[in-house]
Amino acid sequence: MVALKKNMPSSVSMFIDHQIICNHWAGEEPYDEERRQEINLATKDLKCDSLAIDEKRLNGKYKNKPAVLESIKKAKEYAL
């Protein structure tokens, strides 16, 4: 994770953190109803549903910076 954020603008670094923690919750197993609710609450509190909009905005802002775009892309695949 540190490598993805190295030399990145602060907005991209914050996006990477946000993306990775949301990836974590998305990968959690809802083995019972209580756990399902915990996962749903966490993803709602973290506003994980805003990631696509944030990503689109950052991709536009940094469209001429391949290293930034690559870090954003890799964050989507990163799992804790």
Q: What residue ranges do the domains of the chain occupy?
A: 2-77
Predicted pLDDT at 25: 96
pLDDT tens for residues 51-80? 999 999 999 999 999 999 999 999 999 876
Tally of residues, the chain: 80
User: Among the residues of the chain, which ranges form H helices?
Assistant: 2-5, 10-26, 33-45, 51-61, 66-77
pLDDT tens for residues 7-16? 999 999 999 9
Tell whether pTM > 0.75: yes
Predicted pLDDT at 79: 75
Identify whether the C-beta of residue 20 lies closer than 8 Å to the C-beta of residue 80.
yes
Average pLDDT over the chain reads 95
